[in-house]
Structure 1
Amino acid sequence: MKQLLLLATASTLYLSSYAQDYIPSPSRIQHTVNYLASEKLKGRGSDEKGGMKAGKYVARQFKKLGLKPVNNGSYYQDFTFDKNSHKNVPSRNVIGFLDNGAARTIIIGAHYDHLGLATLYDGKYPLNVIHNGADDNASGVAGLLEFIRYYSQNGEKEPFNFLFIAMGAEEPGLMGSKYFVDHPVIPLSSVHLMLNMDMIGRYNDTRGLGIGGYGSAQEWPAVFKDVQQPGIHYFTDGGSKGASDHHNFYMSGIPVIFLHTGPHDDYHKPTDDADKLEPKEEALVLQLGIKLVANAMKYDSLHYVGEEKK
C-alpha cells in the first residue's frame, strides 16, 4: 500500500509539473514583460535597435517552442513603411506555424513594438525618453507565447492549425498587420478567426476585461454563452474596427476577437513599466481566451458579419 501511495504521489506531482508547462503562468508572463519592457530594449521603437532586438527575441521563442517558419523558411516577414516625414522605415512581422494537418487555421497575434524613444512621432511624445511599453504591448507578446505553449504542449492535436504573429509597427498605424493581410503567408480564405491581444496586463476589476469583435461572426453569441473564468469578469463590444491589429483582419473578412484590459494613466507614457503589471490576472485573461477558442473550434466554419472583403 505504501508503495502504491508513493507511486500515486509521484504521478500526481508529474502531472502537476506537466500541467504547469502549458497552463498560462504568471511568473513566465512577468519574466517576458520584464525583458521586453527593460531599459535594454529602450521601448522597442520600430525604427530603433530595441525594436529589432525584440523581434529577434520573439523569433527565438517561436523556434524554441517548436513553431515552423512559413515565410520561405524564415520567421520574419520584412517590410517598410512611411510615417510623417520618415520614409521607408524598416520593420518586420514575426510569424510561426503550428501545423495540425487541418484545412483551416486560427491566427493569434499581438504587436511587439512600442514608441521607443519617440523619434517617429514628430514631437507628439517626449523625444529621447524611453517608453518601455510594459502593458502596451509586452503584455500581449507574453500572452502570445503562453498561447503557443498551451497549444503546442497540452498533448492535444487540435482540429485547426495555428498561425502565431508578433506584429511590427503597430504604433505608427497598424503597419505590420496591414502588410500581412496584403501579403499573407497562408490563404486568408482558410482563416477561421483572428484573436488579438493588445494591453492585457493591467486588469481592473471595476472595469473588467473588454472583448471586442463580438459583432464580427454570427456564431459569437453561442461561442461566448456561459463562458466564465473565476477571478475575471468581462463585457463584450460589437465593434470590430479599431486602433489595433485586429482591425485589418476584420476588414479582410475574418471574424475577430480582441482582448483588452483597458486604458490607464500610463498609456503611451514613459511610466508604462513592468512593475505595474498584473500577471496573475493576465494569466486568467488568457485562460478565458483559451475557453473562447475552444468553443469556436466546435464550428467547422464561422459566418463573418460586417465589411465586404477586399
Structure 2
Amino acid sequence: MSTRKLMLCSVFAVSLLCIGSKVSIAQQIDTVLLKKHIYYLADDKMKGRGTGSKEVKNAAKYVEKHFKKYGLTPKGEKGYRQAFTAKVRRVVVKDSIRTADNVIGLIDNGAPLTIVIGAHYDHLGTGHQGSSKDSLGVGKIHNGADDNASGTAALLELARYYSSNNIKEEYNLLFIAFGAEELGLVGSKYFTENPTIPLDHITAMLNMDMIGRYNPAQGVAVIGYGTSKKWPEIFNGLTPSIKYYTGHDGNGGSDQTSFYKKDIPVLFFHTGGHPDYHMPTDDADKIDYTSLKGIADLEIMIIDRIMKQQHKLDFQFTN
C-alpha cells in the first residue's frame, strides 16, 4: 500500500475514533461536566446565589447558555425565562421584594405527554435572607454546592444527554431550573400557577435537590413513590450502580411539592442532610461526583421506563 493510502487510512480511522468518542460521551452522564458545573455555581465569586443578586442572575445565564447549546426550545414567557417576584419573609431586610427567574427549556418530540425534570439553582447568598444554620453566618458566603448546585448540574447533564442521544422519544421533556426555592418554593409555585405548557399534559415531575453527598450505607432517597400506582412497576428490576430507597409521601421541602399539589405524580431525589447543610462550608470539594453520576443514571433508567408507558400516569394522594 502506498504511503498516501496509508495516511488516508490513518486519518479515516482517527476520524471514526473521534466520532465514536463523541457519541459515547453524548450517551452517558459525564462526571467531568458535573464537576465543572458545580465548581462554577458554587464558586465564591457566585456569592451564594441569593435570590435577587447579580450572582444568581449569572447562574440563570449559565443555565440558559447550556439550554441554548443543547438546542432546547425556549419555553418560558420570554425566551427561556419566566420572571416573577419573591419576598424574603424570614428576616427583616431592606430589599425584601426581589426579582427572580425560572429558566425553562423543552425537548419537543411532538408528543402528547411531557415529563418535567427540575432543580433549583438559587441558594442563601451571604446569609442575609435567612435560613443559615450558622449562628454567625450573616455576611459569610454560603456556596450551596450540594444545595443545590448538585441538582442543577444533574439537570444540565440530563438535558445534554437527552438532546444528543439521536432518539426521538415518545414523550416531551421539559427542563426547569427553578428560582427562589429557598424563599419558599416560590419559583415552582409560580410555574404551576402560570404554566407554560398545560399541566394536564404533564405525566410526572422529577425533582433533584441535594444529591451530591451520597451515603453508601443508606443510599439516595427517592421520595414520592406513593404518588402513582405505576411507580412500583416502573421501579421493578432496576439495577443502578448506587443504592436507593423509596419514600411514600408527595409533599416535602422542595419543588416537587408544587406539582404534587396540582395532582401530578412526583419523584424527589435527595441524599439527605449533613453538617454542612445551609452552612458556609457546603463546598464543591465535598461532593461525591461518582455517586452523583450514578444518581443521574438512575434517573435516566426511570425516565426511560416512564416513556415506555402507553398512558398518562395515574395520580394518588399520599396523605
Same fold (TM over 0.5): yes
Deviation, structure 1 residue 249: 0.4
Partners of 1:218 and 1:123 lie apart in 2 by: 38
Equivalent residue, structure 2, for 1:116: 125
Find 2:233's aligned residue among 212, 222, 236. Answer: 222
Q: Is the 8 A contact 1:105 1:163 kept in 2?
A: yes
Find 2:317's aligned residue among 296, 306, 309. Answer: 306
Structure 1 SS opposite 2:139 = coil
Unaligned runs of 5+ in 2: 1-5
- 1:101-180 equivalence runs, <5 A: 101-121=110-130, 125=134, 126-180=137-191
Per-residue CA deviations over 1:37-66 (Å, capped at 9, x if unaligned) read 001110000032111111111111111111
Deviation, structure 1 residue 11: 4.3
Amino acid at match of 1:140: G
Amino acid at match of 2:56: G
1:122/1:262 Cα in 2 relative to 1: closer, same or farther (>3 Å)? closer
Partners of 2:251 and 2:224 lie apart in 1 by: 8
Per-residue CA deviations over 1:176-200 (Å, capped at 9, x if unaligned) read 0011100000000000110000011
Deviation, structure 1 residue 175: 0.5
Structure 2 SS opposite 1:258 = strand
Unaligned runs of 5+ in 1: none
Amino acid at match of 1:19: S
Partners of 2:302 and 2:131 lie apart in 1 by: 40
Partners of 1:123 and 1:69 lie apart in 2 by: 34
1:123/1:223 Cα in 2 relative to 1: closer, same or farther (>3 Å)? closer
Deviation, structure 1 residue 10: 6.4
Equivalent residue, structure 1, for 2:3: none
Equivalences, count: 306
Equivalent residue, structure 2, for 1:61: 66
Amino acid at match of 1:39: D
Q: Are 2:300 and 1:290 equivalent residues in the alignment?
A: yes
Amino acid at match of 1:15: G
1:115/1:123 Cα in 2 relative to 1: closer, same or farther (>3 Å)? closer
Partners of 1:123 and 1:214 lie apart in 2 by: 30
Structure 1 SS opposite 2:183 = coil
Q: Is the 8 A contact 1:47 1:120 kept in 2?
A: no
Equivalent residue, structure 2, for 1:188: 199
Structure 2 length normalisation: TM-score?
Answer: 0.91
Amino acid at match of 2:31: P
Equivalent residue, structure 1, for 2:86: 81
Equivalent residue, structure 1, for 2:253: 243
Amino acid at match of 2:54: K
Q: Are 2:96 and 1:90 equivalent residues in the alignment?
A: no
Partners of 1:144 and 1:8 lie apart in 2 by: 34
Q: Is the 8 A contact 2:104 2:176 kept in 1?
A: yes
Superposed CA RMSD: 2.1
Structure 2 SS opposite 1:194 = strand
Amino acid at match of 1:204: N
Structure 1 length normalisation: TM-score?
Answer: 0.93
Per-residue CA deviations over 1:146-205 (Å, capped at 9, x if unaligned) read 110111001111001111000000011101001110000000000011000001111110
Q: Are 2:278 and 1:273 equivalent residues in the alignment?
A: no
Structure 2 SS opposite 1:195 = strand
Partners of 1:57 and 1:17 lie apart in 2 by: 23
Deviation, structure 1 residue 31: 0.5
1:207/1:123 Cα in 2 relative to 1: closer, same or farther (>3 Å)? closer
Partners of 2:122 and 2:78 lie apart in 1 by: 23
Q: Is the 8 A contact 2:131 2:278 kept in 1?
A: no
Equivalent residue, structure 2, for 1:70: 75
Choose 1 or 2 for highest CA Rg: 2
Find 1:23's aligned residue among 25, 28, 41. Answer: 28
Q: What is the aligned-residue identity percentage?
A: 45
Equivalent residue, structure 2, for 1:46: 51
Partners of 1:52 and 1:97 lie apart in 2 by: 21
Deviation, structure 1 residue 9: 8.4
1:73/1:178 Cα in 2 relative to 1: closer, same or farther (>3 Å)? closer
Partners of 1:64 and 1:266 lie apart in 2 by: 33
Deviation, structure 1 residue 19: 1.5
